[in-house]
Amino acid sequence: MRVLYLLNISNPDRLSADSGWIFADLLAPALVDAGAEVTVAAPAAAGDARCGFHRTKVPGTKYRARFSADIDELVALIRAERPDVVVANQVEEAPAIRTAMLEAGSDALLAGYCHYLPFSFTDGGQLLLDPSLNDTGLGRPVLLAFAAGLAACDRVMVHSSTAASWVSAAAARMTVDLGDRLRVVPAPRDERLVRDPAARPAAGGAIGVYNHRLYAHYGTEQFVDLARDLVASGTVRLRVMDLFGQRRAERKGLDDSPEKMRDKLAALPHVQVVSDRGDRVRYKNLLAGARFGIAPFRPGCPWSMSVIDCQGMGLPVISPRLGWLAEHIDPELCFTTPAEAVALAERLATDDEFHAVHAKRAHASTADFTPALVAARYLEAIS
């Protein structure tokens, strides 16, 4: 099977902060191991030397990634690669890709991977536009482009059962019949970030780690408020990851909330803001020195690679009851109020038996996400 993997990268200057690139970098070699021929078309190479690579332009903004597909380039690429399967990691581009396949005379299967959903649903069934894709009212055009992408795909892949439910509901509202085209294929864990759950963090106090991107739409303002409560007693200290470093002016122009949130957090007592500098070894060491992780407050969360990173390292993760987080994280570690979160954090910090039980559960929850197992599910989905 020849797979052409079309990958949008929003953070080419800090690939370690781009979960879509990390996913492709882990998955592509596993697909090759399973017998596929893989070519990645992206602004930066992903996979290993056995994978083909076609360099594409950086889209500039997240909106250009959804509305400015180069059909001429796609036609030439499809004719050159002659794929059996084309994977659209940016679902909104699927209609343009289908057009290019028509012009190229390709009968390949078109699979869309819903890496990022431009919407979420409340418990009451209300559809909410993702605020990160709603600048100047663009949220609804993005949603409609997403629906058009679903309609253009032969297969639609999502990370989780929560994402499957949301995508199905959104499609139905926009009269897109998914039929039997929807598949749940989780993202792979990074085997470099796997550790025996019995391992203990280095001496120096009970540290809770927050390793998520600091966008406002991740609910970071709520985390800032919670951080004040978590460190108030002195039992817990916090380590906050600055995953972006210095961002390009175009990205800051659209959303400067990561810089603002970073400064707010850095000003709090007992909160350490650190950078992994794009170094995966340093990132692992920063996680290894923590006692537990903290999930984001992002309502439209169909998956979190940062949560999986913590769990693979044997770090229990406390979480608000939201989206996929409530589906995946142990119910004992989910909270509704700040007081519940503080109680959980302090118990994980001081109760070794409670911590050990949840460290084992956290580690075990990632066992089905090895690259080999995910690649097998991926190939089954696109066969």
- Do 315 and 196 fall into the same domain? yes
Return the higher-pLDDT residue of 60 and 105: 105
Quick one: pLDDT at residue 227?
97
- 3 state DSSP class of 128: strand
Total domains in the chain come to: 2
Quick one: pLDDT at residue 73?
97
Quick one: pLDDT at residue 252?
62
Q: Which two tokens stand for residue 42?
A: 């992206």
- Do 185 and 270 fall into the same domain? no
CA distance 293 to 191: 18
- Do 140 and 269 fall into the same domain? no
- Do 352 and 373 fall into the same domain? no
By residue range, what is the domain housing residue 139?
Answer: 2-189+369-382
Residue 204 pLDDT > 60: no
- Do 241 and 337 fall into the same domain? yes
Q: What is the CATH number of the domain that holds 176?
A: 3.40.50.2000
Closest to 271 (Cα-Cα) out of 329, 332, 214, 186: 214
Return the higher-pLDDT residue of 29 and 61: 29
Residue 28 pLDDT > 80: yes
Closest to 316 (Cα-Cα) out of 338, 346, 339, 336: 346
Span 176-182, average pLDDT: 97
**Which DSSP category does 188 fall into?**
P
Span 165-171, average pLDDT: 97
- Do 261 and 375 fall into the same domain? no
DSSP E strands, 135-281: 155-158, 182-184, 206-210, 236-241, 271-274
Quick one: pLDDT at residue 198?
84
Quick one: pLDDT at residue 61?
86
- Do 221 and 357 fall into the same domain? yes
Burial of 64 (0-12, 13-18, 19+ CB in 10 A): middle
**Distances from the Cα of 342 to the Cα of 225, 314, 366, angstroms:** 12, 20, 25
| pLDDT bracket for residue 235 (50, 70, 90) | very high
- Do 93 and 230 fall into the same domain? no
Which of 14-28, 53-67, 134-148: highest mean pLDDT? 134-148
- Do 61 and 98 fall into the same domain? yes
CA distance 269 to 286: 19
**Which DSSP category does 47 fall into?**
S
- Do 330 and 251 fall into the same domain? yes
Residue 12 pLDDT > 80: no
Residue 223 pLDDT > 60: yes
